[in-house]
Amino acid sequence: MRKQWKSALLGLGLVMPSFLILLVLVMYPVWSSIKTSFTGADDQFTFEHYQYIFTEPLILNNIRHTLIVTVLSCLLVLIIAYSIAIYLRFSQSTVARWINKTYLIPMFIPGVIAVYGFINFYRDNGWVARIIGEEYMPAIIYNVKGLLMINIWFNIPFTTMLLISALQSIPNSIIEGAKDAGANQWRLFWHFILPLSYRTMLVALTFLFMGIVGSFTAPFLIDRNAPQMLGVSMQQHFSVFNEIEQSSSLAVFMFLLCSIVGCFYIYSNIKESKKELK
């Protein structure tokens, strides 16, 4: 019995430092933000900050803009990354081998440098404009298009990596069995590849959504001034307008958005696990 206690205490002792760090650096700020978002000028409980962010047209526009950019970016990244992953999984070509070696490179380029490079490349008088002619250059920088493009640049490597690992875990034998049963390329994809990799797609989607909805560097440097992504808007309310309560309310709202996506992912995982345990 004494031995059991000792090992329990040892376990607790080993976990405690990281738990305390989590408590101080994550849980306390979260709690503090939630509390601030519900605290009025007289230190009383209030909904007025939420009332403000959900009625103020400027912020509502920002929310709409953030959701549109996030959803579009997620969709585009998923489609492109999934296509690349499928190509890399099933192709033996030299091109596939080269893509396989290089697709992770954007992950190793610091965000700010990538954004500045992107601006130099695509601004109205940037390199592309000089090559194709300024009059033919579409507006990319300080525009949603630019933000979508940079989101794709940032997120494709990691998403592709996740999806490739999912596709590689589908044994060739399953594909061969399906072909043997008469499945053509389309049916192979629809009945086998997609169902056997959609769980990882959900994981990728969760990470993508959380990353893009709260992104700051790229929207701050590339997006237009209004509407803004919520990350930028939150920073401005906090440090430019000194509206700490409003920025806390925005932070809690973003946290809720991410929680919904997280819950959706957890729910689908539990459902799958139940099916597997059956």
Partner 1 sequence: MAIKLAIQNLSKLYPTGEGVQNIDFHVEEGELVTLLGPSGCGKTTVLRSVGGFIDPTGGAIKVSDQDVHHLPPEKRPSAMVFQSYNLWPHMTVFDNLAFSLKLKKVKKIEIQQRVEEVLTLVHLQGMEKKYPSELSGGQQQRIALARALLLEPEVLLLDEPFSALDAKLRHELREELRDIQSKRNLTMLFVTHDQEEALSISDKIVVMNNGHIEQIAPPQDIYNTPASLFVAQFIGRMNFIKGQAVNNTIQIGDITLTMDDLYTGEVTLGVRPEDIHVADKSSVRIEARVDKMMMLGHFAEITLHTLIGSLKMFVDRQQLEQFELNSTISIKLVNFIVFKENGEVLSNRRMNVNEMV
270 binds partner 1 (CB under 8 A): no
Contact assessment for residue 240 and residue 200, using Cβ atoms and an 8 Å cutoff: no
Identify which of 153, 152, 19, 161 has the alpha carbon closest to the alpha carbon of residue 76. Answer: 152
Question: In the complex with partner 1, which residue's Cβ is closer, 119 or 188?
Answer: 188
Measure the CA–CA gap between 123 and 145, rounded to whole angstroms: 12
Q: Which of residues 136-175 bind partner 1 (CB under 8 A)?
A: 171, 173-174
Q: Select from 11, 40, 138, 195 the one that contacts partner 1 (CB under 8 A).
A: 195
Number of residues that bind partner 1 (CB under 8 A): 20
Q: Which one of the spans 55-63, 158-166, 190-198, 239-247 is the region binding partner 1 (CB under 8 A)? A: 190-198
Say if residue 29 is preceded by a cis peptide, omega within 30 of 0: no
Place of tokens 């962010």: 53
Measure the CA–CA gap between 119 and 22, rounded to whole angstroms: 37
Q: Select from 182, 186, 256, 274 the one that contacts partner 1 (CB under 8 A).
A: 182
Helix (H) or strand (E) holding 49, with range, is helix 48-53
What minimum distance in Å lies between the beta carbon of 153 and partner 1? Answer: 33
183 binds partner 1 (CB under 8 A): yes
Q: Which one of the spans 54-62, 183-191, 204-212, 215-223 is the region binding partner 1 (CB under 8 A)? A: 183-191
What minimum distance in Å lies between the beta carbon of 172 and partner 1? Answer: 9
- HSE-CB of 95 using CA atoms within 13 angstroms: 4
What minimum distance in Å lies between the beta carbon of 17 and partner 1? Answer: 40
Residue 272: alpha-carbon gap to chain centroid: 23
**Residues in touch with partner 1 (CB under 8 A):** 171, 173-174, 176-184, 187, 191-192, 195-196, 275-276, 278
